[in-house]
Chains A and B, each alone.
Chain A
Amino acid sequence: MQFSHDVVIVGAGGSGLMSALYAKEGGADVAVVSKLHPLRSHTGAAQGGISAALGNEEEDHWLWHAFDTVKGSDYLGDQDAIEALCKDAPRTIVELEHYGVPFSRNKQGKISQRRFGGHTRNFGESPVRRACHAADRTGHTILHTLYDQCTRKGVRFYEEFQVLDLIMNDDGEPAGVVAYEILTGEIHTFHAKVVCFATGGYGRAFKTTSNAHAGTGDGMAIMLRKGIPLEDMEFVQFHPTGLYRLGILITEGARGEGGILRNSDGERFMERYAPTVKDLAPRDMVSQCIYKEIREGRGVNGKGYVHLDLTHVGDEVLDKKLPEISEFSRTYMGVNPKEEPIPVAPTCHYAMGGIPTDEQGRVERGARGSSIPGLYAVGECGCVSVHGANRLGTNSLIDLVVFGRRAGMAMAEEVKQGKGFAPLPDDPERETRDLLDGLLANTRDDGEPIVNVRTDLQETMMENVSVFRTDETLSTALEDLRALRERAKHVVVDDKSDRFNTDLMDAVEIGFMVDYAEAIAACAHHRTESRGAHSREDYQNRNDDDWLHHTLFHSDCNGSFEFDKKNVVITQFEPKERKY
């Protein structure tokens, strides 16, 4: 079947819904196509906060927020985009509040704010209360409120439709997307004037992750397959405090409320590494420090974890401000954080890199200004780049809504200015049909179970492309991925039916995973320095002379790839050594 809308947004998390809402309010006919029901999107798992220099608790300025974000990014974030983020943030938070987000309140009845890692007052002096929050369910309340508003405004939802292809016609213009309707097994063409990808992150490529099962990087892989580069894929954020072995997130808000990391000696080890902000150092540093402690034999009980100690913060704080994580600790670890510390270890959490865009979310093919009319990307799948080499906690939610809002307005404007439908190519669904038919035709004689390929991919990424990397580990990963690409083509789909065939979608996803995992490993191999979350043991220093630029990764998704550079925009904060 063929559907037709002014604007088609792929993905229904925070950025997809925000852009849908603002495009709709701007007068466009908007459809959201999502492989999950919108309320199941991963934004709902975001816990601790959303940053904005509201100054509700103490003096704060957008410029301080911008400085922290630039410094947090290890000077790889684009300062013009970061200015846009930090300047837009307070207004956007107020709009969210007006839309109904039930933020926690302070005594004056204003939005309550708390501390988070890397957020400081007066250019690094001491921690500042900048994270607006709804207890530790901040993402959940934003997701639900945006869905409620989109429902009210008549955004058209196609839920449980998995987008498998971006339609680029012969003239290189985006003309829509191809989606598989999970309920019926039908393949549909969505013809659109404007397409926006809001498909989120890729954490499922790693064995231990805080990401939902759905976080398989589909949008990044689809763009790559269409000849769009990916930017800064080497920068993978590991969140310092995932529940040991499970990877379930324990918000940084826990440390913002006074939680302390301790090693096997009970030592507050972050004092040694970051004397000013201690446990509230940025995530790249804290994750690296935890691994150092574990490697040097100070993991608790000789195991691969440290303790997050909340026993002193008080029952009232745990009950009112951190209720969810208290429940997670009890449910999944049998640990009551009021009485004993929580075993934690870093968990793959967030993609700093992604589809290159400008500040309105327009996708760029290469150098700055090379945007493609009618093609957008927002949220975690995009790279604008405000996070550079390391994202500060709470800056993802504000990224989603600030750039979702900007893209939504820009898309409505593009339609208003007369952007028409690019003509569809002949048989736009052919590639998708061939892909699915090929997977369904695989048999046990020449193929293997999906789970084997996925597990091997997750293990090689975790083992070789994790917090610490070397030439050797990355070469191993690239070799493994070459083999995995072939194996992924031959996975066996047990379910041959048309109805709700999640087995078939798992098979498609493993193909996507190989393509972007290669981007991550190859970019990490390429960048011979350590910066932010990218820590090369064979190149331990940051090297601004050679590497103060973004990486663009082009691939034919068949084993050949090349790199390109993009300059970093520096406006007012000159790169210097990062100390906390």
Chain B
Amino acid sequence: MKLNVEIKRYDPASDDAPHWESYEVEAEPLDSALSVLLDIKWHIDGTLTLRKSCAHGVCGSDAMQINGENKLACSQLLKDLVDGDGDTLRFAPLPAAPVIKDLVIDQSRFFEKYRAVKPWLMTEGPAPEREFVQSPEDHEVIEEATKCIMCGACTHACPSTWADPEYLGPAAMLKAYRYTFDTRDDGAEERLDVVDSADGLWKCYTIFNCNEACPKDIDITRWLSSLKRKSVTAGASAAG
């Protein structure tokens, strides 16, 4: 089918402002959105700039806005994005981040927030000789959160992030959840100090944008709610 592809282009070194450019491409319904972009880059205009790596939805490189929604370009097939001949497909960088060039955003802020929540297992006392014992049920509590690929689709879909650059955002707080609820971890207090703040959990207004954006279908809002409950309980017991 013939598609009209519109891409938001911007090179801060040479452009005053972002602008839309159109390309006409031939594609098949089972092609991915990423393959359309690569077709343009490789055959029409090598200056088109995007990140990519695994091309099947596990590395998180190519999160971007496709037809107005945050998606991974490699995991989106055209049949689910357009109806047929003559349709328009629109690509833009993830919102609420500085654009480096075209579809590539500056993620340094995003990873600063990740580091802020101390996303690593903290254990006290000597480690056991063998692995820690963790029941399948206890594992289940964190399992879905461990699917996160840190693509940024959720954080950049969140109105609290758009409104407040200091807000930690769903991806970083999901990491905080993933370690805090790991039965092997002893770092809850330290981590809750960071997320139980005005820039943290309480700016999550539970509007589910993160869930809708998540390419791994993680129920982020649910896990952040658990983290909220935990921080309230911890706060109450500290006050008591």
- What is A's interface to B at a CB cutoff of 8 Å? 36-37, 39-42, 44-45, 93-94, 97-100, 102-111, 134-135, 137, 140-141, 144-145, 148-149, 151-152, 183, 212-214, 246, 248, 324, 327-328, 331-332, 334, 449-451, 492-495, 497-503, 506
Asked whether, in the complex, the Cβ of A40 is within 8 Å of the Cβ of B60, the reply is: yes
Interface string of B131-175 (1 = CB under 8 A from A): 111111011001100110110000000000000000000000000
Contacts A104-B139, A332-B30 known; 5 new A-B pairs at CB < 8 A: A40-B60, A148-B120, A497-B14, A499-B11, A499-B100
Query: Does B61 count as interface, using CB distance less than 8 angstroms?
Result: yes
Q: Which of A106, A108, A331, A494 contacts B47 (CB 8 A)?
A: A494
In the bound assembly, the distance between CA atoms of A108 and B138 in angstroms comes to 12
Query: Does B53 count as interface, using CB distance less than 8 angstroms?
Result: yes
Q: Which of B46, B53, B107 contacts A494 (CB 8 A)?
A: B46
A-side contacts of B54, CB under 8 Å: 40, 42, 44-45, 212-213
Asked whether, in the complex, the Cβ of B57 is within 8 Å of the Cβ of A44, the reply is: no
Q: Which of B14, B52, B119, B139 contacts A105 (CB 8 A)?
A: B139
Asked whether, in the complex, the Cβ of A39 is within 8 Å of the Cβ of B59, the reply is: yes
B-side contacts of A151, CB under 8 Å: 115, 119-120
Asked whether, in the complex, the Cβ of B46 is within 8 Å of the Cβ of A450, the reply is: yes
Asked whether, in the complex, the Cβ of A141 is within 8 Å of the Cβ of B11, the reply is: no
Q: Which of A44, A94, A451 contacts B59 (CB 8 A)?
A: A44
Asked whether, in the complex, the Cβ of A109 is within 8 Å of the Cβ of B135, the reply is: yes
Query: Does B127 count as interface, using CB distance less than 8 angstroms?
Result: yes
Asked whether, in the complex, the Cβ of B75 is within 8 Å of the Cβ of A98, the reply is: no
Listed A/B pairs (5) with beta-carbon separation below 8 Å: A39-B150, A40-B54, A44-B59, A497-B14, A499-B13
In the bound assembly, the distance between CA atoms of A328 and B57 in angstroms comes to 9
B-side contacts of A212, CB under 8 Å: 53-55, 59
B interface, by DSSP: helix, strand, loop or mixed? loop
A-side contacts of B120, CB under 8 Å: 100, 148-149, 151-152
Identify which of residues 31-58 in chain B touch chain A, using a CB-to-CB cut-off of 8 Å. Answer: 32, 41-43, 45-47, 49-58
Cβ-closest 3 pairs across A and B: A494-B46, A100-B121, A109-B133
In the bound assembly, the distance between CA atoms of A384 and B118 in angstroms comes to 36
A-side contacts of B142, CB under 8 Å: 102
Shortest Cβ distance from B129 into chain A, in angstroms? Answer: 8
B-side contacts of A144, CB under 8 Å: 146, 150
Q: Which of A41, A105, A140 contacts B136 (CB 8 A)?
A: A105
Query: Does B179 count as interface, using CB distance less than 8 angstroms?
Result: yes
Asked whether, in the complex, the Cβ of B13 is within 8 Å of the Cβ of A497, the reply is: yes
A-side contacts of B60, CB under 8 Å: 39-40
B-side contacts of A499, CB under 8 Å: 11-13, 100-101
Interface string of B100-125 (1 = CB under 8 A from A): 11001001000000010011110100
Asked whether, in the complex, the Cβ of A213 is within 8 Å of the Cβ of B55, the reply is: yes
Shortest Cβ distance from A150 into chain B, in angstroms? Answer: 9
A-side contacts of B30, CB under 8 Å: 332, 334
Asked whether, in the complex, the Cβ of A40 is within 8 Å of the Cβ of B100, the reply is: no
Asked whether, in the complex, the Cβ of A45 is within 8 Å of the Cβ of B58, the reply is: yes
Asked whether, in the complex, the Cβ of A148 is within 8 Å of the Cβ of B119, the reply is: yes
B-side contacts of A501, CB under 8 Å: 49
In the bound assembly, the distance between CA atoms of A134 and B143 in angstroms comes to 9
Asked whether, in the complex, the Cβ of B133 is within 8 Å of the Cβ of A137, the reply is: no
Shortest Cβ distance from B214 into chain A, in angstroms? Answer: 13
Closest to A134 in B: B146
Query: Does B77 count as interface, using CB distance less than 8 angstroms?
Result: yes
A-side contacts of B46, CB under 8 Å: 449-450, 492-495, 503, 506
Q: Which of A44, A500, A502, A503 contacts B149 (CB 8 A)?
A: A44
A-side contacts of B90, CB under 8 Å: none
A-side contacts of B147, CB under 8 Å: 137, 140
In the bound assembly, the distance between CA atoms of A140 and B216 in angstroms comes to 13
Asked whether, in the complex, the Cβ of A98 is within 8 Å of the Cβ of B47, the reply is: no
Shortest Cβ distance from A212 into chain B, in angstroms? Answer: 4
Asked whether, in the complex, the Cβ of B13 is within 8 Å of the Cβ of A324, the reply is: no
Q: Which of B119, B132, B136 contacts A98 (CB 8 A)?
A: B132
B-side contacts of A39, CB under 8 Å: 59-60, 149-150
In the bound assembly, the distance between CA atoms of A212 and B77 in angstroms comes to 18
In the bound assembly, the distance between CA atoms of A512 and B96 in angstroms comes to 37
Asked whether, in the complex, the Cβ of B101 is within 8 Å of the Cβ of A500, the reply is: yes
Q: Which of B55, B58, B61, B104 contacts A500 (CB 8 A)?
A: B104
Query: Does B184 count as interface, using CB distance less than 8 angstroms?
Result: yes
In the bound assembly, the distance between CA atoms of A93 and B132 in angstroms comes to 12
B-side contacts of A44, CB under 8 Å: 54, 58-59, 149
B-side contacts of A41, CB under 8 Å: 53, 59
Asked whether, in the complex, the Cβ of A40 is within 8 Å of the Cβ of B61, the reply is: yes
Asked whether, in the complex, the Cβ of A40 is within 8 Å of the Cβ of B59, the reply is: yes
